[in-house]
């Protein structure tokens, strides 16, 4: 785990720091924090967002990635009765894409897309089956396009959420992931605008979740990449506030002006020493940027097991359930 510097030790003695920040600075496992603040990571039953036509053709509440990512330490979204993501087919995924070939039964299995992570406007017909390899290649392409977009706008970014887990654990996208995630600084978000990038990709402005002002969408597959945001804590330079609708702290200093949502933002606090400066990292052979101590951040955010234990059953070794 990341060792605390002298400044962090001084912060521990300050009575003004929220309990969540103190726990994180001490390296407390995220599940302990959630136990102290039971609502910090739980999605409330009323967290419906917007009506959309899902891949099965029914009208129901669209589940944005930010509504489910990291709930109970998960790196992905909602799961079915087997503990697998919706639309994952009948075969267990490998722990990492490199563990199987691109012509393996898992990669070539034709499955329905995850209905909670599909933009039906871009996937025609919405319930169209596709292979797991097509899904992974779409997410890889989204990350590459998001990098190109943000670099062109001079917006620093870091891999985040399930994408950070995949990079740290596999150097690639998680085999069962249905989207991708990056995070940028709040003061850079205004540089991003909605609209078609080219014939394949588009940027959409989002107002259904206070932590995700924009997504980059694949107009061919309907998959997308969330752009989260964060801000240096105004009182403690050694902390970073990361917007999250069910965060443990109220971040009154976070913007309520467009392109952000108008409500007071919730956030969770993390040591700046694990976040900045961003450092080069590689995902599927493409150089991206990651948090300074990505492994340390992921342990704080999701618990120590996140670096080696998949949050879904896998074909072999390490998941909730595996097969020989």
Angle, vertex CA 45, rays to CA 43 and CA 49, nearest 5: 80
Q: What is the pLDDT of residue 146?
A: 98
Q: What is the pLDDT of residue 200?
A: 97
Q: What is the pLDDT of residue 85?
A: 76
Where in the sequence is the domain holding 41, given as residue range(s)? Answer: 6-307
Tens-digit pLDDT profile for residues 178-235: 999 999 999 999 999 999 999 999 999 999 889 999 999 999 999 999 999 999 999 9
- How many domains is the chain built from? 1
Label residue 43 by pLDDT band (50, 70, 90): very low
Burial category of 106 from C-beta neighbours within 10 Å (exposed 0-12, middle 13-18, buried 19 and up): buried
β-pairing, 180-185 vs 195-196, is unpaired
Residue 24 lies in a domain: yes
Q: Which residue has the higher pLDDT, 237 or 58?
A: 237
Label residue 311 by pLDDT band (50, 70, 90): confident
Position 12 pLDDT exceeds 60 = no
User: Could you give the CA distance from residue 146 to residue 29 in angstroms, rounded to a whole number?
Assistant: 31
Residue 233 lies in a domain: yes
Q: What is the pLDDT of residue 61?
A: 38
Residue 316 lies in a domain: no
The proportion of the chain whose per-residue pLDDT surpasses 90, expressed as a percent, equals 64
User: Could you give the CA distance from residue 224 to residue 142 in angstroms, rounded to a whole number?
Assistant: 7
Q: What are phi and psi of 206, to 5 degrees?
A: -115, 140
Residue 183 lies in a domain: yes
Label residue 319 by pLDDT band (50, 70, 90): low
Q: What is the pLDDT of residue 52?
A: 33
> What average pLDDT does range 290-314 have in this prediction?
93
pTM above 0.85, yes or no: no
Residue 241 lies in a domain: yes
Q: Which of 105, 248, 225 is nearest to 157 (CA)?
A: 225
Q: What is the mean pLDDT of the chain?
A: 80
Q: What is the b/e burial string over 130-155, where b = at least 16 CB atoms within 10 angstroms of the residue's CB?
A: bbbbbbbbbbbbbbbbbbebbeeeeb
Task: Please report the sign of the dihedral spanned by the C-alpha atoms of residue 149, residue 155, residue 160, residue 165.
Answer: positive
> What average pLDDT does range 65-73 have in this prediction?
40
Q: Which residue has the higher pLDDT, 176 or 61?
A: 176
Residue 63 lies in a domain: yes
Q: Which residue has the higher pLDDT, 109 or 71?
A: 109
Residue 28 lies in a domain: yes
Q: Contact at 8 Å (CB) between 202 and 219?
A: yes
Q: Which residue has the higher pLDDT, 290 or 61?
A: 290
Q: Which residue has the higher pLDDT, 78 or 152?
A: 152
> What average pLDDT does range 256-272 have in this prediction?
97
Cis omega (within 30 of 0) on the bond before 125? yes
Q: What is the pLDDT of residue 86?
A: 74
Residue 315 lies in a domain: no
The proportion of the chain whose per-residue pLDDT surpasses 70, expressed as a percent, equals 73
Q: What is the pLDDT of residue 20?
A: 35
Position 76 pLDDT exceeds 70 = no
């Amino acid at each position: 785990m990341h060792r605390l510097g002298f400044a962090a030790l001084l912060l521990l003695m300050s009575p003004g720091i929220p309990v969540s920040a103190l726990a994180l600075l001490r390296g407390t496992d995220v599940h302990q924090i959630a136990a102290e603040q039971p609502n910090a990571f739980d999605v409330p039953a009323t967290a419906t967002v917007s009506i959309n036509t899902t891949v099965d053709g029914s009208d129901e509440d669209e589940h944005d990635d930010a509504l489910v990512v990291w709930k109970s330490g998960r790196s992905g979204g909602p799961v079915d009765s087997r503990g697998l993501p919706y639309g994952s087919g009948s075969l267990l995924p490998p722990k990492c894409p490199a563990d199987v070939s691109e012509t393996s039964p898992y990669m070539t299995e034709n499955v329905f897309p995850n209905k909670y992570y599909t933009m039906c406007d871009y996937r025609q017909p919405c319930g169209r089956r596709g292979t797991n390899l097509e899904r992974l290649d779409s997410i890889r392409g989204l990350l590459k396009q998001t990098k190109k977009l943000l670099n062109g706008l001079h917006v620093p970014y870091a891999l985040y959420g399930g994408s950070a887990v995949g990079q740290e654990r596999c150097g690639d996208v998680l085999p069962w992931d249905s989207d991708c995630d990056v995070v940028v600084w709040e003061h850079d978000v205004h540089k991003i605008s909605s609209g078609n990038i080219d014939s394949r990709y588009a940027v959409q402005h989002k107002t259904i979740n206070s932590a995700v002002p924009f997504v980059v969408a694949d107009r061919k597959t309907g998959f997308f990449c969330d752009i989260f945001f964060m801000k240096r804590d105004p009182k403690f330079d050694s902390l970073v506030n990361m917007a999250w609708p069910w965060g443990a702290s109220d971040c009154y200093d976070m913007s309520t002006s467009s392109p952000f949502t108008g409500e007071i933002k919730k956030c969770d606090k993390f040591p700046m020493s694990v976040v900045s400066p961003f450092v080069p990292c590689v995902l599927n052979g493409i150089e991206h940027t990651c948090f300074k101590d990505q492994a340390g951040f992921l342990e704080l955010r999701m618990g120590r097991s996140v670096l080696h234990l998949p949050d879904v059953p896998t074909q072999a070794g390490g998941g909730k359930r595996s097969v020989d």
